[in-house]
Structure 1
Amino acid sequence: MNIKNLIAATYTPLKDDGSLNVDLVPRYNEFLKKNKVAGVFVNGSTGDFVSLTVDERKEIIEAWSKVKSDDFFVINHVGHTSLKVSKDLVTHCADKVDAISTLAPYYFTVPTLESLVEYCAEIAACAPHLPFYYYHIPVLSGADFSMLEFLKLAETKIPNLGGIKFTKNDVIDYRYCKNYKNGKYNILYGVDEMLLSSLPYEATGWVGSTYNHLAPLYYGIIEAFKLGDHTLASQLQTKSAQFVDELNGRGGFNGAGKSFMKVLGVDCGPCRYPHKTFSDEELSEVKKILTNSGIMDYTSKL
């Protein structure tokens, strides 16, 4: 399986009382598909997986599996501080998703690349029929290894290795991974505000939070690059960075990004601690700023 185009790292919808709102998933799915998003990465950092219970993570992936279709990928992130729990999450979703993914253990961190590969191999083996993607996000996991070396070691240890969700601003290592064995593995770029930097290296798939909000903008970047209009591509990428900076500067991107979904017609509800939930007044202020900067012209539409 070769996952292509924009994959949205989804927010976990909640009701006002803080419980899951799985009834929103069909509307959320329609919204993403309308904006040509090709799939979802569920239970990841954007979805606040560390703030969810195991049962909640199972319930939310069950909801997404019900709207899965041949033209819409569903990837489930199963990472946890407990290997036993991760394996249980894989077993639960093995017949419900298109692929599985995990980041490295993030409290007691892995000491060597070899131990990371062993960890991933145990998880991947729980669903040998599903592509396994390693989630490379060293800023949060603390596992900062060369991904080229990961591929070299993992290809003999993980038969169902599909690729990497590459969430680090390191286009050199990314390029090496893309080119390894003539492009054998599906390397999904995961730094939204740097998507343009991945295009010279023939990136074809991306996973990120802001693909929820700005899918038309990113497809505009890709199209401008293909047409050789690098000035326009750069201008659009700058708008992406401005969007991230504006929201991140208001108490952190996770809470701001989730809250902003309400402006786009997909109310994902409140955030869990420590993320901040925006009031309607705050959202109105942000929308005004983004309108004045021209960014609202590129937001996803319901």
Structure 2
Amino acid sequence: MHCFAYQWATKITKSDAYKERQSNKVVMSAMAPAADKKLTGLVAAAFTPFTAQGEINVAEIGRYINYLREKQGVRSVFVNGTTGESMSLTVAERKTLAEAWCLKAKGKMDQVIVHVGCMSVKDSQELAHHAAQIGADGIAVIAPSFFKPNTAEALKKFLHEVASVAPSLPFYYYHIPAVTGVNVLGRDLMEGIEELIPSFRGVKFSGEDLMDFGQCVSYSKPHWSALYGVDEQLLAALAMGAHGAVGSTYNYLGCHFNELISAFEKDSLDQARTIQFKVQELLSYAKKLGFDLGVNKQLMNEVSGLCLGPPRLPLMPCPPERAQSIMKKYHSIFPDC
């Protein structure tokens, strides 16, 4: 099923979402605390499903989970992150989405990591406390990007204030300097952080500085995870010692990246490079046409057959002709999909 931006017509009202949340409250409260297990392998940075009217559409999350498991071999998700347009969502919407993912992924996904970062430390704390209540497997926090922490110590203090309200949950720092403008090195952030945040379990490193990433890996404790977030450079990150990866393209290219990881682990570097180069060819082509989150989301719709809706303003829907062009390229590179 192909879903262009102007074709989405599924509608869930706010009252419907509220009713679903209310009916799930008993189940949520009964969920056991998250198991503190090391996060490894591929983690899909989940898109937020929207209706054509721009409301969140939790009804699509069940199909989404089944698709990731059955078609892509991806069994962990990162919810309400950059790919999920978290900064364009209200706190209430983020709670609704987190609840739906945790409930519907139970018994199907290995881990659900909920991103709770906001510009306001109070909003971040509210979301972190909520994530603990609904049985999330971990939380992540991005650096605030309006009033920016300009030192590692300032950033650590912000992260500590958020982590302190959910001390039982594994805590991950979400490092994405190109978006936040916060250029604190990941390695500097990790220095002594476990003394301040005992629940610290690693970093989602969405930056291109492989030296800094390597230093993060080198400094990591055995129970931490250094997760790489630039999909087109995953092979290089694996060579640096990445324990796993969080990314948007794993939503629809996960099966290929799983093959890449398997080939790397078997020392079949030629095979791993071949897969990485194919991914780079696709993304390079898409970037030349204009590859933003709206295009990325539409590509997911086209490949998966899910209807995740358009992005929310100020992002614009993908022009249909651009989606068709990228899909043609996709099928030429991955003809068996």
Equivalences for residues 110-189 of structure 1 within 5 A? 110-180=149-219, 183-189=222-228
Equivalences for residues 189-228 of structure 1 within 5 A? 189-228=228-267
Residues 296, 135 of structure 1: alpha-carbon distance in 2 compared, 3 angstrom cutoff: farther
User: Do 2:282 and 2:329's aligned partners in 1 also have CA atoms closer than 8 Å?
Assistant: no
1:58 CA drift (Å)? 1.0
Identity over aligned pairs, percent: 36
d(CA) in 2 for partners of 1:127, 1:225: 36
User: Do 2:235 and 2:272's aligned partners in 1 also have CA atoms closer than 8 Å?
Assistant: yes
Equivalent position SS for 2:144: coil
Q: Show CA shifts across 1:216-267 (max 9, x none).
A: 1111211222233322211211111222223333333311111112212112
Equivalent position SS for 2:238: helix
Equivalences for residues 1-302 of structure 1 within 5 A? 1-34=37-70, 35-69=72-106, 71-96=109-134, 97-180=136-219, 183-263=222-302, 264-292=304-332, 294-297=333-336
Q: Show CA shifts across 1:71-102 (max 9, x none).
A: 52101111111111111111122122100011
When normalised by structure 2's length, the TM-score is 0.84
d(CA) in 2 for partners of 1:266, 1:25: 10
Which one is further off, 231-240 or 117-126? 231-240
Normalized per residue, the structure richer in helix is 2
The residue type equivalent to 1:28 in the other structure is Y
The residue type equivalent to 1:188 in the other structure is L
Gapped runs of 5+ residues in structure 1? none
Bigger relative CO (Cα 8 Å, ≥ 6 apart): 2
d(CA) in 2 for partners of 1:182, 1:158: 14
Residues 284, 89 of structure 1: alpha-carbon distance in 2 compared, 3 angstrom cutoff: same
d(CA) in 1 for partners of 2:335, 2:163: 40
User: Do 1:171 and 1:198's aligned partners in 2 also have CA atoms closer than 8 Å?
Assistant: yes
Equivalent position SS for 2:139: strand
User: Do 2:228 and 2:246's aligned partners in 1 also have CA atoms closer than 8 Å?
Assistant: yes
When normalised by structure 1's length, the TM-score is 0.93
d(CA) in 1 for partners of 2:209, 2:284: 20
d(CA) in 2 for partners of 1:40, 1:91: 19
User: Do 2:289 and 2:322's aligned partners in 1 also have CA atoms closer than 8 Å?
Assistant: no
Residues 252, 283 of structure 1: alpha-carbon distance in 2 compared, 3 angstrom cutoff: closer
d(CA) in 1 for partners of 2:222, 2:194: 13
> Alignment RMSD, CA only?
1.7
1:107 CA drift (Å)? 0.7
